[in-house]
A and B are shown apart, each in its own frame.
Chain A
Amino acid sequence: MRSWELVRFAVGAIIAHPMRSALTSLGVVIGVAAVVMMTSIGLGASKRVTDTIAGLGSNLIIVQPNFQRGGGFVSGGAGQGLTLRDSDVEAITKQVDSVAAVAPTVSGQAQLAAEGANWSTRVQGVTPAYLVARDLNVASGRMFDDREARQGRKVLVIGATVARELWGDADPIGRRVRVKTVPFEVIGVLESKGQSGFGQDQDDVVLGPLAAVRSRIVGRRTRGDTVQTIYVKAATADDLDKVQEDVTNLIREQHRIKPGEDDDFQTQNMASILAASQAAVATFTVLLAAVAAVSLLVGGVGIMNIMLVAVTERTREIGLRMAVGAKRSDVLIQFALEAVMLSLGGGLIGLTIGVLGAIGIAKIGSWPAAVPAWAGPLALGFSMVVGLVFGAYPSWRAARLDPIEALRRE
């Protein structure tokens, strides 16, 4: 008895009832497709979150006003809640060690107008340190220097998207653009960073000197020394926690916050944000995969059900096979193979559907398609195990049949 003969028996039985075999496998098809799709979507989401956060710059601490605090003491004044000042920036620069860059920013939405073209975007008021903090480079022209930033010269460094929207393919350096009626001159273009993980265009940026943007664009609602966000870049990843702690203590001191009182600002560490969001995505993925695995289990029960029917239906066949010399193990293997093939076939189809589905969903949701390399082996391994586990009992029943009884069955 050669083992491939048993494979042929199993294949013969499967193709003898194509419709029934297809329906039997359907449960596994759906289960495997769901597992593959869910893990791919989960992985895609995780990648997207990681890319987005990494795109902000590495070793970064973000200091922002804490808008939650003091909700009860609404004074209604202009710039309410904006608690960070130039003095905080100065203090961090001077007093905190292991800092690569301290970049204060303000920003406001504004309409840009140049030679008939219009473009509405967010204009950021920054210092040159911003490029270091956010890992940005100037592709052509130059960045304004510290002095220009302080003096509030009316110059801009723009992203590739802004340049294209306003001037097409023409070189934007030296051109004049009106930002909310205030004329500025373009002196540099940033290197392209492309789309972020969340589908944001990272080249849709306009950087201007902090003082100029603060007074001319963000407007009268803010005090003259207010900053909205301070980016602090630690020298190395190992310094991140220490720098965050030092910055927190220093600003508390600056703001004269007594021990026990809440901060009127918050610091966020990119590494911890990354870790937290990745953990959230991982939990989500595991949950989705668990739900998908349940459908795989249901598919297995479907196979067991049909295999039990097949054993009953083919009792006489089993008896005859035994009479002409089949051992119990031959019968067992034949039926187990049938179950495994049904399941494995379903797994293959499910894998194809799952991969195509994941790519499709990625396209629709502008999501990075991330079908893990182990999806194939995993899906096929799983469906094989499902076939073995759920085929075991029906096969055992077939092998235990008494040939005399089996041959007598109508």
Chain B
Amino acid sequence: MPRKLERKPRIAVVVTAVFFVWLYLPIVAVVLFSFNDKKSLSSFSGFSLMWYDDLVHNGALLDSLMASVKIATIATLVSLVLGTMLALGLDRVRSRKTQVTLGAVTLLPLVTPEIVTGVAALLLFTGIGLKLSMTTVILAEITFSIAYVTVIVRGRLLGVAHEVEEAARDLGCTHFQALRLVLLPTLAPALVGAGLLVFALVFDDFVLAFFTTGVDPQPLPVRVYSSIRFGVSPAINAIGTLMLLASALLIVTALLLPRLFGRGSSSLDLITTGEPL
């Protein structure tokens, strides 16, 4: 009987294979055609780095890439600070009812359709007379990212916070020292995880950026979208491949960093399972 159970059902193998092909074939195509020596996006005729060369000389696209890196970096740093402060503040709310209500309000941006957030941000900025620019994109992205940071940091706080912080104060720390010397290092894996997640989300966010960006330089996803309307250049494939490489590096870093902190589990577990480490 157990022998029968051990046999893998062939259908499961097939479904799994189809799933992975479905998932990765388009990405493989992007990588492959970024090395094509023709402009064609349907037949691969030979290997070349011409589209990477093209990219390096495409000033507008590079400007957009830099703009997106800048937007994502600033939005990540600011939302990490604000989101962590919010999580710490929520943790200190005495009344259970207030805490639950505030927690729910914090989560609202996660479930609001992004297009609503985008339109709202656009109306707000034009309403108060703020000229659309990279600044408005950053502001909109920060508002949107704080919730992610807060949710992840709170997950970690629930497990450890009170007694660890009290232990620090018991052993001679002021409130601020307890935060700096014990609470933040304890939260480090969650902060790294939250930072990576927010960076990845903001970097390729299209909807919010589309509604709130000014003319120049446009964030990369907006730029790619508008250039596709005038015909696709394989330079886009090249930039896609580079981004893929960058994200892969980020993920590897995220997996390795916790080892440096000496933990068995990684901050990615926190994102994927939502469980405090």
Q: Real complex partners, A and B?
A: no
